[in-house]
Amino acid sequence: MSALTASPPQAASVPAPTRARARRRLHIPLLLAPFALLFVIAFVAPLVYGLVLSLFRERFTGLGWNGSHLAFAGFHDYARALQDSRFLDGLGRVLLYAVIDVPLMLAVSLVLALLLDSALTTARRFFQALLLLPHFVPGLIAALIWVYLYTPGLSPLTSWLGDIGLHVNFFSSGSVLGSIVNISLWQWIGYNSVLLYVALQSVSPSVLEAARLDGAGEIRTALSIKVPHIRPALVVSGLFTIIGSLQLFTEPKILQGSAGSTVTASWTPNLLAFSEAFNSNDYSYAAAVSLLLAAVAGVLSLLAMKLVGRVDRSSQEADS
């Protein structure tokens, strides 16, 4: 019942159901049913099934002639994952990737959004369309194209960089993570900066005018009015970037072709789950790795939201 009291105000004008209408409330489950069905199949069932698979093991009785039965194996697979250096290294790698990728992504997107929004930039629509282009290139295709660009024979990129004194091998163990960060930046900077730019459009013009009259310059206005105003959009961008970082799979999978010795079959947790399931046929371990990754992503997202919420509150207190 507490859910009723927590309902947002926009529903307040809906009249309370009369007894006659209460009998005809079948439309609510009917309207919810299609999505509920899809949600159960795509989210709830695999989570539950994965959990069951990871907690139970097939046990063969006797010599195995009498068939098998499922026996509770406890958290054996989870304990194993938490001691498996392949899983821990992979997790460390995607976390490092997130630590590099998320701040870079947000900073560059924010700068581009502010530039687009400032009175200086002309041809905004053209520029937005241009920046959004990579968003419509499937992730796998983007990875393929960039791997071609990274390959010395196929593109002049490495020799250009060599000409200005940067001798990079994009596939070496030291730079492969950076090569992947670059692919992700290329794909998502435009999307994120347009998202932030659109959010900036809701800053009230009178507030900006007041700031200008008070003598605030373009940069000061950006830092003290625009950035705080679009904090929710920044949180959304950051959240999706974090979730995306942990799922790293496609780009390393493609890079395996060119940097096979560096990008191993267990280079990220998703690659590990994939190879455990389809190369080793160890389904219960694959399920455990997948669920652990989902749990880490969920906890990190929640932490990010909480953290931003606290910063929000303390800055409001400082304002008052």
Partner 1 sequence: MTTLNPPARPSAPSSRAVRPARPAPRRVRHSPLGRGLNLGVCAVAGLYTLLPLVWLLFAITKTLPDLYGSNGFAPSGFHLWANLRDLFAQDGGVYPRWLLNSVLYAGAGAGLGTLASVMAGYTFAKYRFPGREKLYGLVVAGVLVPGTALAVPLYLLFSGVHLTNTVWSVLIPVAANPFGVYLARVYAAGSIPDELLEAARVDGAGELRTFFTVGLRLMGPGALTIFLMQFVSIWNNFFLPLVMLTDSRLFTTSLGLFTWNSSTSQNPDYLRMVVVGSAVSVVPLLILFLTLQRWWRRGLAEGGLR
In contact, 78 and 288? CB cutoff 8 Å: yes
Provide the minimum distance between the beta carbon of 285 and partner 1 in the complex, in angstroms, as a whole number.
Answer: 10
Provide the minimum distance between the beta carbon of 275 and partner 1 in the complex, in angstroms, as a whole number.
Answer: 10
DSSP state letter for 171: T
By beta-carbon proximity to partner 1, the closer residue of 62 and 295 is 295
By beta-carbon proximity to partner 1, the closer residue of 63 and 123 is 123
Provide the minimum distance between the beta carbon of 98 and partner 1 in the complex, in angstroms, as a whole number.
Answer: 12
By beta-carbon proximity to partner 1, the closer residue of 62 and 145 is 145
Helix ranges, the chain (H): 2-5, 19-23, 27-39, 45-55, 76-83, 85-117, 124-132, 139-150, 157-163, 176-200, 205-213, 218-221, 227-229, 231-246, 250-255, 269-278, 283-319
Strand, coil or helix: 256 = coil
By beta-carbon proximity to partner 1, the closer residue of 6 and 63 is 6
Give the whole-angstrom CA distance, residue 101 versus residue 178. 9
Provide the minimum distance between the beta carbon of 145 and partner 1 in the complex, in angstroms, as a whole number.
Answer: 5
Residue 268: count of CB within 10 angstroms of its CB: 27
Provide the minimum distance between the beta carbon of 106 and partner 1 in the complex, in angstroms, as a whole number.
Answer: 13
By beta-carbon proximity to partner 1, the closer residue of 100 and 157 is 157
Give the whole-angstrom CA distance, residue 165 versus residue 172. 17
